[in-house]
Amino acid sequence: MKPTVVPNPWSTLRRFTPARIALGRSGTSLPTAPQLAFQLAHAQARDAVHRSFDADGTAQAIQALGLPTQVARSAATDRPTYLQRPDLGRRLDEASAAALRGPAMASDLALVIADGLSALAVERHAVPLLAALLPLLRGANPPWSLAPVVLVHQGRVAIGDEIGALLQASAVLVMIGERPGLSSPDSLGLYLTWAPRPGRTDAERNCISNIRPEGLPYDDAANRAAWLLNAARARQLTGVALKDESEAPPALASTAAPGFVLTDGR
């Protein structure tokens, strides 16, 4: 009698990747366990997209690192509007813009933390990443002066351009929750823009993506970000003209070509 579930001969490869490979089959369908795992992953991704951002809790953790914070909102008034109108997530609402428009001392770097498409990613990974990055910023020559950290509800990447301009910062670094995948509902991305101002394009940014313990570790991401920041300051630019020439993380060093760059293409 033939077994009900036929295992896939590639099943040993599954220990090397979270991708859905070698799932086996039951007749012409998936076995029950992989099907249930898929449904769970899909539900986790949907939950991450619709999750509300605990900006106050995140702000308290950032303040414990010795950094002042300010909470802002985009022009998207709620989550459904944010998902349907990406353009509104790229600019501040009037009250937030007015609060940031007041007298400000010019700084080298504005740090922005936005919920993006996964508030879960921001809540889990933004503070540990910031803790790893701060010593590198303070140890740079010269050290980076920092504007207050701005936490944004319903924010997209480009909202950092407006915030950086209002804070008179030379550069802006946006930490944002990336679009969830079926194996990564909590992936954090970094976007760096030199001379931020509204109207900057994605070609004028550098990106480091998939920051989480199961992806790019905090220390490696912080080292990449610090390298890019220092290179951006030296060359007065970011984007396609600035290539990541920092050393690859140890796990990637054997397979990465020189200048290997992690991007999410958003």
pLDDT tens figures, 197-245: 999 999 999 999 999 999 999 999 999 999 999 999 999 999 999 999 8
Q: What percent of the chain lies above the pLDDT cut of 90?
A: 72
Show the domain range for 160.
50-253
How many angstroms separate the CA atoms of 56 and 70, rounded? 9
In a domain, 8, yes or no: no
In a domain, 126, yes or no: yes
In a domain, 20, yes or no: no
pLDDT higher than 50, residue 22: yes
Query: DSSP characters for 161-194?
Result: HHHHHHTTEEEEEEEEEPPPBTTBTT-EEEEEEE
Q: What stretches of the chain adopt beta strand conformation (E)?
A: 69-73, 107-114, 149-153, 169-177, 188-194, 205-211
**Contacting residues for 11 by C-beta, under 8 A, at least 6 apart:** 22, 24
Q: In total, how many domains does the chain have?
A: 1
Which CATH number belongs to the domain containing residue 224 in this structure? 3.40.50.11240
Angle between helix 218-235 and 119-138 (nearest 10): 60
Q: What is the reported pTM?
A: 0.85
How many angstroms separate the CA atoms of 82 and 44, rounded? 19
Instruction: Give me the pLDDT at residue 204, please.
Output: 97
In a domain, 241, yes or no: yes
pLDDT higher than 50, residue 98: yes
